[in-house]
Amino acid sequence: MVAPDVDRLFAGSIPQLYERYLVPLIFEPYAADLAARAALRTPSSVLEIAAGTGVVTRRLASTLAPSVAIVATDLNQAMLDHAASVGTSRPVEWRQADATQLPFPDETFDVVVCQFGAMFFPDKARAFSEARRVLRPGGAFMFNVWDRIDQNEFAHAVTLALEPVFPLDPPRFLARTPHGYSDTEVVARQLSEGGFVRDPDVTTLAARSRASSPDTVAIAYCQGTPLRNEIEARGPSRLLDATDAAAAAIRNRFGRGAVDGKIQAHIVVIER
């Protein structure tokens, strides 16, 4: 399914809330994993696409040797601006770029990294073709995608909680886009369509998502992702209603204090 444009809109206060709440909630464990995988290849240059607010970029900067050149890109300038304002442990190059039209010469990078961005690409085979184009022979494209939403407990609970709030047209962003690209056979086929000839190495990795309260989880998903756009399209005043319903659902299932839920993703590595 092609995601609506609203699914790719990270604007307004979303970048700040995304960084404050969502990054520690679900992204940090997988950022550490990707950076470690990149380091094992001892690259001299790394490109990150769909860098968001820079959680992987910061890990790459602290994990890779200081001599490794890191270029971090994203389609959304607001996300890059926030990433740059947070900063990294050493200089990296921040650059606005469309993953389907990368502004780099052929065979420029040893590794191309993408954390939870492939789901948002409107033409995935084209984006994969671009990743392959800018890789040097023998280089690796490594990325992760979320597993099914029922394997990610907080996202699933939030999605179900919004159904009675909007019974005629419940927001389905989380199921449709972040968790809508979990079929690894589809991923492998689209990598092939993008010109990769080798089989991808796919690892399914479970982790834990932890927050200090149910409210933190509700704010992270309802206000720090494009789910917010979908909620506010039903009426700006509905955002608090949705957030309260999500918090109540998390509270009822996981408790009133600190909460802990399962998350799960697929890590895909393929060589050029």
Is residue 138 left, alpha or beta, with left meaning phi > 0 and alpha meaning psi from -120 to 50?
left
Task: For residue range 147-160, list pLDDT tens digits in order.
Answer: 999 999 999 999 99
Report the side by side order of strands in the sheet with 201-211.
93-96, 69-74, 45-49, 109-115, 135-146, 259-271, 201-211
Q: Rounded to two decimals, what is the model's pTM? A: 0.93
Residue 32, pLDDT score: 97
Task: For residue range 17-70, list pLDDT tens digits in order.
Answer: 889 999 999 999 999 999 999 999 999 999 999 999 999 999 999 999 999 999
Query: Is the confidence at residue 198, as pLDDT, over 50?
Result: yes
Task: For residue range 86-114, list pLDDT tens digits in order.
Answer: 999 999 999 999 999 999 999 999 999 99
Residue 37 sits in which domain range? 5-271
- Cβ-in-10-Å burial (0-12, 13-18, 19+) of 21 comes to buried
Residue 4 pLDDT grade (very low, low, confident, very high; cuts 50, 70, 90): low
**Residue with the two structure tokens 């199921």:** 175
Secondary structure letter of residue 104 according to DSSP: S
How many whole angstroms separate alpha carbon 126 and alpha carbon 49?
14
Count, residues in the chain: 272
Residue 202, pLDDT score: 98
Query: Is the confidence at residue 124, as pLDDT, over 80?
Result: yes
Q: For residue 244, what is the domain's CATH number?
A: 3.40.50.150
Residue 1, pLDDT score: 40
How many whole angstroms separate alpha carbon 156 and alpha carbon 254?
13
Domain count, the chain: 1
Residue 5 pLDDT grade (very low, low, confident, very high; cuts 50, 70, 90): low
How many whole angstroms separate alpha carbon 98 and alpha carbon 17?
23
How many whole angstroms separate alpha carbon 19 and alpha carbon 41?
28
Question: Shortest CA distance to 211 belongs to which of 221, 197, 199?
Answer: 221
Per mean pLDDT, which range of 3-7, 36-40, 65-69, 246-250 is the poorest?
3-7
Q: CA-CA distances (angstroms) from residue 143 to 21, 118, 158, 254, 270? A: 22, 8, 25, 30, 9
**Residue with the two structure tokens 């780099």:** 104
- Alpha carbon 116 to its chain centroid, in Å, reads 3
How many whole angstroms separate alpha carbon 144 and alpha carbon 33?
10
Asked whether 6 and 171 are in contact (CB, 8 A), the reply is: no
- Cβ-in-10-Å burial (0-12, 13-18, 19+) of 17 comes to middle
Query: Is the confidence at residue 9, as pLDDT, over 80?
Result: no
DSSP-H helix ranges across the chain: 14-17, 28-40, 55-63, 77-86, 124-134, 153-162, 173-176, 184-193, 214-223, 227-232, 238-254
Residue 2, pLDDT score: 43
